[in-house]
Amino acid sequence: MDDPTPPPLIEVRDLTLAYGDKLVMRGLNFELRRGEILVLMGGSGCGKSTLLRALIGLQPAAQGSVCHAGLDLALADERELERLQRGFGVMFQAGALWSSMSVGENVMLPLREFTALSEAEIETVARFKLALVGLDGSFDLSPAALSGGMRKRAAIARAMALDPPLLFLDEPSAGLDPLSAARLDELILNLRDHLGTTVVLVSHELHSIFAVADRALFLDAKEKTMSALDSPQALLDHGPPGVREFLRRGVPA
């Protein structure tokens, strides 16, 4: 009888990450399931963003492996890696919008680079992606004219331009007011629920972690390894003491 469980999108095995002689994380073992929102969490400096970079092939492993659909990123040639990365949508921590381009031009950029669509078709797709994130009136604006939350949503629209099955978001709620953060959380849930997008989200914002995460991976800065992986509520109820202490800071008294 066939196994009904679909294979994971990403498998991480015995992964060690380092910058030269400086160890960042060791002994990481986990899988990313299709259609889930996985949050990478932990205190400042624990290696969350470094791990995200490893998952998208921008940070080499010191040891171990990161496999996408069975392909080890370390063994992929340039063409294979480029093919894989075209299936990734990435929003970096500060949004990284090009200030010399309008918001619409930022979203159109990957469509111009990687599709054969006409200019009219590219503009139509870009306007649709901006509308999807609630920015349908911002096409001709400069990034500087947007609020912090709007810039992050515009960066997500650009990350979604090529309809990637995998979306990587680095601290999307950082620095936002509670209302903007809640709207961003709702957007991420809608992407998962209505488009089937699988999301890897780096965050230390506890309200967002509880709002969106199917599972959360805790990185322990002191031990330099992962110490727990489960739903946020399960970790709050039954996780290791350090993880429960971390998560309790986001629970109202």
CA 188 to chain centre: 10
Q: What percent of the chain has pLDDT over 90?
A: 55
The rounded distance, in Å, linking the Cα atoms of 73 and 113 is 23
**CA-wise closest residue to 250 among 221, 220, 212:** 212
pLDDT in tens, 129-180: 898 888 888 999 999 998 887 888 899 889 989 888 899 999 888 777 888 7
Residue 180, both tokens: 């903007």
Confidence of residue 1 (pLDDT cuts 50, 70, 90): very low
Percentage with pLDDT > 70 across the chain: 96
> Residue 150's pLDDT is what?
85
Give me the numbers of helices (H) and strands (E) for the chain, helices first please: 9, 10
Instruction: Give the pTM.
Output: 0.88
233's tokens:
């509520």
Question: Which residue, chain included where needed, has tokens 């080499």?
Answer: 60
Q: CA–CA separation, 90 vs 110, rounded Å?
A: 12
